[in-house]
C-alpha cells in the first residue's frame, strides 16, 4: 500500500471539520474476493496484476460494474480488444496512452457533459456530475396544448 489511511493532510482546513481522506494506492491479490466485492469510497486505486488480455477482462468483470475503469497502454490492438470485452461492465472507460497521459482529467473525474454510470451497484446508469446532478433531481412536466396557450406560457 502507498499512503496512510490514518493520516490526513489538508490545506486551509481542519481535518476534524470534514470527511477528509488522503489518497491510497493499494496492491491486491487479483484472485482474492475483496478487490472485486469491496468498493473503496475515497481517493483510492487498486492495482491488480493480470496474466493476459482474457485474464484482465475477467478481473474487470468480477467487480460486477464500476463507474470508471482506466486502461493505460500504447498497444492499440490490446486496448481495443479490452474495451470490446469490458465496456458492458463500466460506465466510463478512461483510455490513456503516451499522448494523453500529460493532460488526463483523472480516473474518477466527474464529467458533466457525459451521461454514464456503471451497471448494478456502480452509478445506477447516471453520473451525477455538474448540472446533471441537479437536473436529475428536478421536477419535469411535459405540457401539451395549442400554440396560443403554449406561447403565453413561454412569456
- Binned at pLDDT 50, 70 and 90, residue 147 comes out as confident
Q: What is the pLDDT of residues 43-101, one digit of tens each?
A: 777 888 999 999 999 988 887 777 778 888 999 999 999 998 888 887 778 888 998 88
- State the average pLDDT for the chain: 78
Residue 102 in this model has a pLDDT that exceeds 80: yes
Q: Looking at residue 118, what is its pLDDT?
A: 59
Residue 152's Cβ-count burial label (10 Å; 0-12, 13-18, 19+) is exposed
Q: At CA 91, angle to CA 110 and CA 122, rounded to 5?
A: 90
pTM of the model: 0.62
Q: Looking at residue 113, what is its pLDDT?
A: 62
Stretch 19-46: mean pLDDT, rounded? 79
Q: Looking at residue 119, what is its pLDDT?
A: 60
Q: Looking at residue 155, what is its pLDDT?
A: 62
Task: Quote the cell numbers at residue 146.
Answer: 395549442
Residue 133 in this model has a pLDDT that exceeds 70: no
Q: Looking at residue 75, what is its pLDDT?
A: 93
| Closest among 26, 23, 25, 29 to 9, alpha carbons compared | 23
Residue 137's Cβ-count burial label (10 Å; 0-12, 13-18, 19+) is exposed
Stretch 11-37: mean pLDDT, rounded? 81
Amino acid at each position: 500500500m502507498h499512503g496512510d489511511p490514518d493520516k490526513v493532510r489538508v490545506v486551509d482546513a481542519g481535518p476534524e471539520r470534514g470527511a477528509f481522506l488522503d489518497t491510497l494506492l493499494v496492491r491486491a491479490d487479483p484472485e482474492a474476493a475483496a478487490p472485486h466485492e469491496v468498493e473503496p469510497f475515497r481517493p483510492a486505486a487498486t492495482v491488480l496484476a493480470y496474466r493476459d488480455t482474457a485474464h484482465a477482462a475477467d478481473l474487470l468483470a468480477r467487480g460486477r460494474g464500476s463507474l470508471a475503469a482506466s486502461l493505460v497502454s500504447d498497444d492499440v490492438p490490446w486496448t481495443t480488444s479490452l474495451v470490446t470485452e469490458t465496456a458492458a461492465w463500466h460506465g466510463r472507460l478512461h483510455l490513456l496512452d503516451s499522448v494523453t497521459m500529460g493532460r488526463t482529467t483523472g480516473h474518477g473525474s466527474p464529467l458533466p457533459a457525459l451521461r454514464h454510470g456503471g451497471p448494478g451497484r456502480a452509478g445506477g446508469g447516471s453520473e451525477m456530475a455538474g448540472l446533471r446532478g441537479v437536473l436529475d433531481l428536478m421536477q419535469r412536466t411535459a405540457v401539451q396544448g395549442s400554440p396560443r396557450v403554449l406561447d403565453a406560457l413561454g412569456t
